Amino acid sequence: MANFMKRGDKWQARISWRDNNGKLHQKSKSGFATKQEARQYAIRLESQKEDGVLLDKEVSFKDYFQEWFKTYKQGTVSDNTARHYHLTGKLITKYFEQASLKNIKRTDFQKFINWYGANHAPESVRKVKTICRACIRSAIIDGLIIKDFTADVELVANKNNITDVEYLSLKQLSKLTNCLIKHRQTDKPTIYMILTGIYTGARLSEVQALTWNDLDLAHKTIKISKAWDNLHGGGFTSTKNESSKRTIRVNQELLSLLMELKVNGNTLIFEEDSHKIPGSYQVNRDLRKFLLTIGLKNTSYHFHSLRHSHVAYLLSQGIDLYAISKRLGHSNMTITGKVYAYLIDEYKARMDDEIEKKLGKIRA
């Protein structure tokens, strides 16, 4: 509702409305020479209100982002994912400072992406852009802004920063597996953890959290429904995301190896005598030790590289990408394709040869 009053020789326009919670809001402006000017101003305010703009509040991008994260994301995403949100928040603060959401244009956001992308790989830039876009869509729903200034922004990144996934060749993977099995000891759970990584492609935190109840010997499966909280001193936590919860098929050899650890009498499969779960440093130290044993001196190879080696092995055996994606716990095949594009391209030529052979049999 709008009303007008004359103050001296000037006019004032005032518009009032109540939000969805019943709270009264008012916005006014004085100094108009005529009542008609005041009326036109009120009409513009009414139009903006209908479009969902909170006219009485200026909110900075950085402040809204922090509030949005606390309200909608904190506690619903894994600690690892939360770190991406915190990084994005710091980038927004550094680049936009106190800039109001209402004053940021699409060109401003494109310059922000250009700035960050100049020294970062495409996947890093894509994560920041995706998080920002989710935040801005929320701001539109909340009525803070009308347009999505992140829409149709080009992803600019430094392709020189792309790191190809690191993995072992089939021969190297075979040598490492045989070496681990040969030197296994039930009081050295790290060896069994590495073997589990090779056979499942699971993340380290997922392997650490495995209990005997997660093994289904009859159906030869392992259920991954939780992760180990390495950031807060241990204990169970949620998986990276909902799609990470999965049940994967394994072979009898891995199950037989894991069952050897039953003699330790622990609830968690890889629990040590000290009732602790081996951490990242301990597992990676032993992994590199066994790599040296088979003649590979690669200090950058770590447990997560086993996940890449698992994918490389499955691709080499002609396993369908959809099955691999589900096994890894990705929410869709697009993610798998992006992460393992290098490996997929490597095996594409082999598949093309196979396709050519199959096409040649159409008339047979």
- Alpha carbons 216 and 252: distance in angstroms, whole number: 11
Say if residues 312 and 341 touch (Cβ distance below 8 Å).
no
* % of the chain exceeding 70 in pLDDT: 88
Q: What band does 241 get if pLDDT is binned at 50, 70 and 90? A: confident
pTM of the predicted model as reported, rounded to 2 decimal places: 0.65
Give the rounded distance of the alpha carbon of 355 from its chain centre. 34
What's the pLDDT at 355? Answer: 80
Lookup result for tokens 């040296």: 292
The model's pLDDT over 332-358, given as tens digits with 9 standing for 90+, comes to 887 777 777 666 666 666 677 778 888
The model's pLDDT over 293-313, given as tens digits with 9 standing for 90+, comes to 999 987 678 999 999 889 888
Within 10 angstroms of residue 311's Cβ, the number of other Cβ atoms is 24
What's the pLDDT at 364? Answer: 66
The model's pLDDT over 147-205, given as tens digits with 9 standing for 90+, comes to 899 999 998 877 665 555 577 888 899 999 999 999 999 999 999 999 999 999 999 99
Q: Which residue has the higher pLDDT, 2 or 149?
A: 149
Q: What is the DSSP string of 21-66?
A: T--EEEEEEEEESSHHHHHHHHHHHHHHHHTT--TT---BHHHHHH
| Mean pLDDT score, 99-103 | 92
The two tokens of residue 362 are 């159409």
The pLDDT of residue 273 is above 80: yes
3-state DSSP assignment of residue 261:
helix
Say if residues 220 and 258 touch (Cβ distance below 8 Å).
no
Q: Which residue has the higher pLDDT, 151 or 80?
A: 151
User: Who contacts 354 (Cβ-Cβ below 8 Å, separation ≥6)?
Assistant: 318
The pLDDT of residue 264 is above 60: yes
